[in-house]
Chain A
Amino acid sequence: MKQDLQQIFSKAKKYDRLAQKSLFEMFSGKMLSVANSYINNRDDAEDVLMNAFYKAFTKIDDCRNYESFQFWLRKIVVNDAITFIRTNKHILYAETEFTDSIAEQIDEVDELSKDIDLDVIFREMPIGYKLVFNLSVFEERKHQDIAEILNITEGTSKSQLSKAKKWLKDYFNQQNTTQNAESEI
């Protein structure tokens, strides 16, 4: 698999169309889900994905190693998706300070994470929370990086993440209560 990827990558560096197609087939499914996790619209996510692949193939010389191609491509997809959201949607971040009480809430959400459906996060979570949540949890970015990417302060990034987790906790508590009520009836 690694040798195949290496050969394909080296051919793609020479702008070989078949190699490009094979790279597209290898990573397009995963990258589409990543783009969709931010945009929550399949068509828009596909447009973003296509542009991200176009950038990757035209600037493939910037990627030196075949092993890092996937992460490099993913970075392009995430950045393009965030750019798409920022240009098409107005996001307001409420400035709140990160406190210890919020940190406790995060620990409580970690226990619930087994039952959380990802589609719920992508579909229902407010966009401001979702961007910080995705970058922090799924892309494993530090708050400093998130602050730079989203052009916000580090404190805002932390507070947005805590709020996102609180929102998840509340959402699932609400779901559980409704389910219990329905079962009682």
Chain B
Amino acid sequence: MQNLKSKYEQQEMHVSDDLWDRLEDKLDQAGKEEKPKIIWWKYAAVILLMIGLGGSFWMINHKSDMNENQEFVNQTESGDQNFDSKIIESLLNNDVDKLNPLKNNSEAGNQKLAVEDLKDSPIPLRIVEEIKRENQTTNQVTDKQISIKKEEISIPQPEEKLAQSEIQKPKERTKYITSSDLLFGVEMDKAKTETPKSAMGINISKSRNDSDFPNPKRIKLFGITLYDKDSLTTK
């Protein structure tokens, strides 16, 4: 068997000339097919990376914006409260000042007067008490005005919201399929548009009005009165 083996190993065949060209073409085609895939993968990887980075940046920014907004909201809420209270106070002070321009003057003046009157007038205490009462009433009035203004500021918001919701959402009537439509398979739209329900033959019994039915006063058959409305009514 060794002789056969040695013979076999020595044996060679001549390869046809175009075999290398065919192989080269095949190798070139394989190289061309592989290269674009690699480039495509590169581009895809870059795009995915960009999208990932962009998304992460956006998320980070969005979160920071959200935090900032929340902080801003908290600040504004607290600030608004302070601001409102300040405004109210300033407004009230102004109002009070406007309303009671006489108050301070009158207080000072009245005190002076009272002091002067205490010396001179025979009824000085009355006047002083009256002035004090007047001042108290003015203060009460201003307090009431303050409370009214606060209520006016806080109340109208929910009302407006309710009004807007009522305007935006008009009630739509629900449409139900009737039993006759289900039984006879008549298309709803066609049935409604083309044929009225009375033409279908089977309908839901309408509420009977007296105007729809004939209402004879008298029914005669072969000269005999079968029905007379007047006689019935009179009887």
Contacts and interface: CB of A to CB of B under 8 A. Distances in A.
Contacts of A110: 1
Given A46-B16, A49-B19, A17 B24 contact: yes
Given A28-B15, A58-B30, A53 B23 contact: yes
Contact of A57 (B3, B12, B27): B27
Contacts of B2: 113
A22 to B, nearest CB: 11
A118 B27 contact: no
Interface string B22-35: 11101100110000
A172 to B, nearest CB: 12
A75 to B, nearest CB: 15
B161 interface: no
Given A50-B19, A137-B4, A20 B12 contact: no
A32 B9 CA distance: 12
A50 B13 contact: no
B11 A49 contact: no
Contact of B15 (A15, A32, A58, A118): A32
B20 interface: yes
A54 interface: yes
A138 B27 CA distance: 30
B7 interface: yes
Contacts of B7: 118
A114 interface: yes
Contacts of B5: 137-138, 140
Given A110-B1, A116-B4, A54 B15 contact: no
A36 interface: yes
B19 to A, nearest CB: 6
A54 B27 contact: yes
Given A20-B27, A49-B19, A54-B23, A32 B13 contact: yes
Contacts of B9: 138
A140 B16 CA distance: 29
27 contacts: A20-B27, A21-B20, A28-B15, A28-B19, A33-B11, A37-B8, A42-B13, A45-B13, A46-B19, A49-B19, A50-B23, A50-B26, A54-B23, A54-B26, A57-B27, A58-B27, A58-B30, A110-B1, A113-B1, A113-B3, A114-B3, A118-B4, A118-B7, A137-B1, A137-B4, A137-B8, A138-B4
Interface of B: 1-5, 7-9, 11-16, 19-20, 22-24, 26-27, 30-31
